[in-house]
Amino acid sequence: MNQLFILAGLLEPAVGLIFWTSITFLLLLVLLGKFAWKPILNAIKTREESIKVALESAEKAKLDMLELKSTNETILNQARAERDMMLKEARETKDAIVSEAKQKAQADADRIISSAREQIISEKNSAVADLKKQVASLSIEIAEKILKTELSNIDKQKELVSALTKNLKLN
């Protein structure tokens, strides 16, 4: 009989304990829910979110860095290309200027030479003309002097008239 009592006590739920357990459980649910679980869960959630955000921003910063790096590379390449182009242009300009200068100088030189030549020719011509004039005047003077001396006596004059008349053929 004793054992049956014990078994009944083991398997039969007592009303009092059911009552107090219900009250305790509900109280715990309300009090812990309000004063413990809510702040704890919120804090854990906030922390997890902040960690997530931090990780995401780190990842974003990494991507930004990569992008920046590639942008830098592009800019650098562009600058290099521009520099090359500028150098090329400068060389071309220099070559053009030099060749132009050369051409101009050549033309100037040619012009100077040709004008010099023309001057020389004209100088020469004028000199020749002058010389001719002087030679003519000198010849006239000489002829004058010779004639003066030749024709100073009558004999000589006669001789000359005869010589001239001799040469003068009467046709």
Partner 1 sequence: MISKINTSGLLKVVLAVFLVLFSSSSSYSNKPNQHSSVSENHSVSDSLNKNASKSETVDITKVAFEHILDSHSWHFWGEGHDALVFSLPIIIYSNTKGLQTFMSSKFDHGHASYNGYNLEEEVIKSEDLNETIYDFSITKNVTQMFISMALLLWLFISIANAYKKTGITSAPNGKQSFFEPLIIFVRDDIAKENIGGNKYERFVPYLLTVFFLILINNVLGLIPISANLTGNIAFTLVLAVVTLLVTNFNASKTYWKHIFAPKPAALWLILMPIELVGVFSKPFALMIRLFANIAGGHIVVISLVGLIFIFKSIYIAPVSVAFTLFIDILECLVALLQAYIFTMLTALFIGSAMEDHGHSNEEAASNHH
> Which residues here bind partner 1, judged by CB under 8 A?
2-3, 5-7, 9-22, 24-25, 27-29, 31-33, 35-41, 43-44, 46-47, 50
Cβ proximity to partner 1: between 34 and 132 the closer is 34
Q: Smallest distance, Å, CB 57 to partner 1?
A: 15
Measured CA to CA, the distance from residue 115 to residue 14 in angstroms comes to 142
Cβ proximity to partner 1: between 18 and 63 the closer is 18
Q: Smallest distance, Å, CB 47 to partner 1?
A: 4
Q: Are 160 and 150 in contact (CB under 8 A)?
A: yes
Measured CA to CA, the distance from residue 53 to residue 50 in angstroms comes to 5
Cβ proximity to partner 1: between 41 and 142 the closer is 41
Q: Smallest distance, Å, CB 60 to partner 1?
A: 21
Measured CA to CA, the distance from residue 69 to residue 76 in angstroms comes to 10
Q: Smallest distance, Å, CB 22 to partner 1?
A: 5
Cβ proximity to partner 1: between 28 and 142 the closer is 28
13: left (phi over 0), alpha (psi -120 to 50) or beta: beta
CA-CA distances (angstroms) from residue 29 to 23, 36, 84, 159? Answer: 10, 10, 78, 178
